[in-house]
Amino acid sequence: MSRVLIVGAGLTGSLCAYLLRKELPSKLQVVIWDKARGAGGRMSTSRCPSDPNCTVDLGAQYITVTPYYAQKHKRFYEELLAQGICKPLGAVVEGMVAKDGAYNLVTPQGVSSIVKHYLKQSGADVFYERQVTQINLRDGKWEVCRKSGSPEPFDVVVLTMPVPQMLQLQGDIVNLIKPSQRQQLETISYSSRYALGLFYEAGTEVDVPWASKYITNSPCIRFISIDDKKRNLESPGVGPSLVVHTSVPFGIEHLEQEKEVVQPLILKHLETILPNLPQPMYIKCQKWRYSQVTEAFPGCPGQLTLYSEPLLFCGGDGFTHSNFDGCTESALQIVKTLASHL
């Protein structure tokens, strides 16, 4: 059996593992490493330290399904709906731009539940807090080094982290990437933003007429959502949670500052928009350095084969576009290419 390492436990990585289990179950042993403490990547759901039932989505908020992808990715949407992982968005989202024929889905258990579903179904060996630092070629295999712990050999490596992080890897990979490929990879760019998750005690009232709202007149804040209201999961025993996404210009301006400096600035702007907001019992500040792809790899191929013997791929939304369907397209292309080499 070939040993495959997928770097990144976000949507592309988890879908890759899931599809490999379905299509090549007897040929591969799949291992996933992620540098974070849990699954999700930018489909991140954070829990309140004092009440794990109180959660907030800090990354993706809902999934917009266009008519084209509703057909093309029908099997994925049908499964997520049938399993209760997704459901139609019924809450009021002020300022949402409706797309012709499109509809929206939310995740009752938080957006990371999609990634966790695919990881569970994949049967992959998943390890967290494993940050890849070097990739070397040793005796026809990839020797993958991590920040702490011994290097391990793999027959195939699939990189699904944001492309700038991939380009920071050391070892033989530096010289194995062709100059023309590196030049194209360096054209991939991402927007940056901050997200704040605010957690409240049970019984707290957040008195607004909407579940989520796009903000157009703030120099700092672009989107606010009462997360439990958005998911239609308001429960008397669980406090509400609120997420704030900053605008991209604000994110870029404050990108290199410490979160402890940026958090009070966001809260000050939030107070001007929602002056009667109660005091939260806990706040989580998330810096999204690589929030959404603004310039994808030329031609949006879904994946790029960096080396063919042994196989080394990279994929993710940097090779398509930043949403559920973009990551799904990338995972499908990676699996298709991998299957053709076996």
pLDDT tens track for 275-333: 999 999 999 999 999 999 999 999 999 999 999 999 999 999 999 999 999 999 999 99
Q: Which pLDDT value is given to residue 236? A: 78
Single out the residue of 7, 69, 8, 79 nearest to residue 44, CA to CA: 8
Rounded mean pLDDT, 242-261: 97
Cα 260 to chain center, whole Å?
A: 23
Q: Say yes or no to pLDDT of 42 above 80.
A: yes
Q: Which pLDDT value is given to residue 25? A: 81
Residues in contact with 275: Cβ distance below 8 Å, sequence separation at least 6, in sequence order = none
Q: Which pLDDT value is given to residue 342? A: 79
CB contact at 8 A, 191 and 292: yes
Q: Which pLDDT value is given to residue 232? A: 84
This prediction's pTM: 0.96
Which helix H or strand E contains 291, and what residues bound it? none
Q: Please give the structure tokens belonging to residue 100.
A: 């012709």
pLDDT band at 214, cuts 50/70/90?
very high
Q: Which pLDDT value is given to residue 57? A: 97
Q: Say yes or no to pLDDT of 234 above 80.
A: no
- H helices within 139-258, ranges in order? 163-166, 173-176, 179-185, 227-230, 248-253
Share of the chain above pLDDT 70, in %: 100
Beta bridge partners of 33: 7, 127
Q: Which pLDDT value is given to residue 316? A: 98
